[in-house]
């Protein structure tokens, strides 16, 4: 049996992090991978997730049968102007952090975890500091190329720092670089098991011309007006060269449907418009030859694990401008194309066009994307967690 397990064969894990899917889903994937590893060794996992009442984790953890507790915390509103950082809202929220640390310390002391795993988001700070106060091993996981604000605050307290990219290592403070290991960003296993033909059947894509490449456009669960606008303006041009699956967000379907209705019938047959893609996502990704999307950490993990050529349109307002850093990192490696600033139809055509007309270029970009992908990231992170518990 793994020597990290307690005498009853139970491994006790506190997970903290969330607010968004980028912090929440890697943690959930790591939990599931750890459960599988322990089960194969005859052990069990006891998990407590520490989060906020209004974060995504508050819905995800209970739905997955994971014990959940909340602590007080404060969201720091960033600004390049130090004076604006001292806004009334920031000062008020900063004052909540000591209370959150006290609450988290009580939870950590009572639960006695073998490891505390922090995946980022401002809620991770109180529990991460509590791990240090209670002398429990702390593992940080960073999804983006640069350490997020919470993980920067906790880096000096960490037993191990798991990062998603080799390029992160030189960006770490020298004092903590020796604690870092590259694991990649955990990807849900089902994402890697899609079937293109199943997408055609499930979504009724029988009007698609399978001799043409298929483009999957996504702006995230709520859609992205910037992406939708560029695709809307370039739609006829795109459909002359490709099939298009367009996940536009529930509030944007009607406007795009009216616009598309004016297209020639043979082009309209190649356009599948939907507000949201659910369980069929793995099959949609399997069918896609090219992606047009934001460049959040979770998206990049999936795109690279699958080896998909992609045009990234970063969200300009992402925390710490992380999406721009992510997109630039892959573009510099030849593993994607990044569009910054005002994204017009013409700029989108210039970026997507060569990938649609040149299969060799698509494959070269796909290969470079795969070189950056880590489909085994969850297992690597489990290795780090168990290693931290074993000392």
pLDDT of residue 97: 83
Distance, CA of 79 to chain centre: 24
267 Cβ neighbours under 8 A, 6+ residues apart: 236, 239, 240
CB atoms within 10 A of CB 213: 20
Write the DSSP symbol of residue 74.
Answer: -
pLDDT of residue 357: 97
Superfamily of domain 10-186+376-390: Glycogen Phosphorylase B; (3.40.50.2000)
CB atoms within 10 A of CB 336: 28
Nearest alpha carbon to residue 24 among 35, 15, 33: 15
Radius of gyration of the chain (CA): 22
136 Cβ neighbours under 8 A, 6+ residues apart: 14, 108, 112, 113, 114, 115, 116
Both tokens of residue 320?
């710490």
Q: Which residues of the chain have pLDDT under 70?
A: 1-7, 74-95
Distance, CA of 59 to chain centre: 17
pLDDT of residue 221: 79
With contact defined as beta carbons under 8 Å apart, do 23 and 119 qualify? yes
pLDDT of residue 235: 98
pLDDT of residue 382: 98
pLDDT of residue 222: 82
Q: Where are the beta strands (DSSP E) in the chain?
A: 10-16, 44-51, 67-70, 115-118, 138-142, 160-163, 180-182, 214-218, 243-247, 271-274, 290-293, 310-312, 337-338
pTM greater than 0.75: yes
Backbone angle region of 35, left / alpha / beta, with phi > 0 → left and psi within -120 to 50 → alpha: alpha
Both tokens of residue 147?
């350490």
pLDDT of residue 216: 98
pLDDT of residue 223: 85
**Strand order, beta sheet including 337-338:** 271-274, 243-247, 214-218, 290-293, 310-312, 337-338
Domain boundaries, the chain: 10-186+376-390, 189-372
pLDDT of residue 347: 97
**Cα(first)–Cα(last) distance of the chain, in Å?**
16
Question: 95: number of CA atoms within 13 Å, CB side?
Answer: 7
Strand partners, 312: 293, 338
**Considering only the top CATH level, what class is 189-372?**
alpha beta
Q: How are the residues of the chain apportioned to helix, strand and coil, as percentages rounded to the nearest 5?
A: 50, 15, 35
Secondary structure (3-state) at 15: strand
Backbone angle region of 321, left / alpha / beta, with phi > 0 → left and psi within -120 to 50 → alpha: left
């Amino acid at each position: 049996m793994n020597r990290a397990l307690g005498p009853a064969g139970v491994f006790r894990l506190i997970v903290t992090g969330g607010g968004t899917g980028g912090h929440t889903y890697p943690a959930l994937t790591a939990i599931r991978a750890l459960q599988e590893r322990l089960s194969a060794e005859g052990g069990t996992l006891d998990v407590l997730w520490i989060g906020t009442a209004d974060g995504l984790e508050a819905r995800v953890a209970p739905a997955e049968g994971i014990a959940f507790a909340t602590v007080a915390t404060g969201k720091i509103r960033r600004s390049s102007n130090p004076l604006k950082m001292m806004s009334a809202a920031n000062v008020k929220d900063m004052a909540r952090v000591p209370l959150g640390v006290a609450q988290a310390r009580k939870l950590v002391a009572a639960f006695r975890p073998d490891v505390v795993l922090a995946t980022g988001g401002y809620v991770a700070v109180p529990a991460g500091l509590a791990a240090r106060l209670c002398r429990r091993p702390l593992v940080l996981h960073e999804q983006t190329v640069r350490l997020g604000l919470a993980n920067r605050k906790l880096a000096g307290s960490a037993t191990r720092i798991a990062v998603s990219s080799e390029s992160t290592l030189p960006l770490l403070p020298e004092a903590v670089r020796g604690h870092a290991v590259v694991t990649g960003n955990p990807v849900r296993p089902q994402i890697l098991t899609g079937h293109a033909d199943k997408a055609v059947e499930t979504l009724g894509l029988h009007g698609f011309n399978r001799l043409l490449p298929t483009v999957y456009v996504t702006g995230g669960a709520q859609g992205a007006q910037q992406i939708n606008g560029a695709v809307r303006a370039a739609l006829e041009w795109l459909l002359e060269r490709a099939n298009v699956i367009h996940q536009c967000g529930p509030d944007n379907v009607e406007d795009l449907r009216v616009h598309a209705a004016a297209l020639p019938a043979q082009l309209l047959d190649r356009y599948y418009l939907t507000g949201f893609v659910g369980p069929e996502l793995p099959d949609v990704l399997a069918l896609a030859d090219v992606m047009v999307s934001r460049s959040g950490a979770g998206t990049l993990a999936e795109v690279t694990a699958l080896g998909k050529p992609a045009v990234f349109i970063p969200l300009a307002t992402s925390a710490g401008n992380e999406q721009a850093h992510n997109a630039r990192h892959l573009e510099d490696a030849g593993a994607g194309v990044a569009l910054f600033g005002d994204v017009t139809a013409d700029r989108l055509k210039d970026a997507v066009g060569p990938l649609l007309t040149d299969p060799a270029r698509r494959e070269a970009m796909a290969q470079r994307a795969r070189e950056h992908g880590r489909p085994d990231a969850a297992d690597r992170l489990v290795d780090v967690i168990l290693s931290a518990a074993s000392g």
